[in-house]
Amino acid sequence: MLCFLSDGKDMCFQSELWRLNNPVCFWVQEIEKTRLLAEENAQEAQRKENEARQIEEDLRETQMRVLQAQKQHNNNNHNTESYEDDQNPVGDADTDEDDNSIDHNEKELDTHEYVSHHEEERTPIISRDQNRKQKLEEERRNLQQRQQKADTPEDKIYRENTIDRGIDKYKTLKKIRQGTVKRRIDEFEAM
């Protein structure tokens, strides 16, 4: 139980003493800090993902505008070239060699070298999930290392009993209550 005195220094000393005497509260605070850090990381990742999605949408819109401008430019050039070709008709004096050459009305097919391949550049959800899992595992390992450094012998015994063996005070009391009085005494003494 905490005894708070009127002096602020004594209150601070008492609360620090209470914290040192209650390591479980310390771990609860550490876990809470880690949880808050993980939430902040998740929010940051969500924000970055939203920014990336917005940038991708802007890029698509820009690419669509560029493609439309190229199409319009190509259509304008195509119309003027065909008009010029119609003005200069091919004469009858052509030979077979001229027939084998490229006709003036034919044009090479333009390939769009500048077409976006954003579907090849995007990161799939699976790889993003794997990245998040790796980060989470790394945080877990860091937390375990910090816990191991700060563990007291009592904490280690408690962890061995509860996690490894599955023994806790409720199961122990239930086990003691079962059976006859003589067996209860024997069970209690065996502990």
Give pLDDT tens digits along the chain (191 positions): 444 445 555 666 666 766 677 767 777 888 889 999 999 999 999 999 999 999 999 999 999 999 988 888 877 765 544 444 455 545 444 555 555 555 555 555 556 666 667 777 777 777 778 889 999 999 999 998 888 888 888 888 888 878 777 777 787 778 777 777 787 788 778 87
Domain positions in the chain:
8-83+136-150, 152-191
- The per-residue DSSP string of the chain comes to -----SSHHHHHHHHHHHHHH-HHHHHHHHHHHHHHHHHHHHHHHHHHHHHHHHHHHHHHHHHHHHHHHHHHHHHHHHHHHHHHHHHSPPPTT--HHHHHSPPTT--PPPP-TT---HHHHSPPHHHHHHHHHHHHHHHHHHHHHHHHHH--HHHHHHHIIIIIS---HHHHHHHHHSS-HHHHHHHHHH-
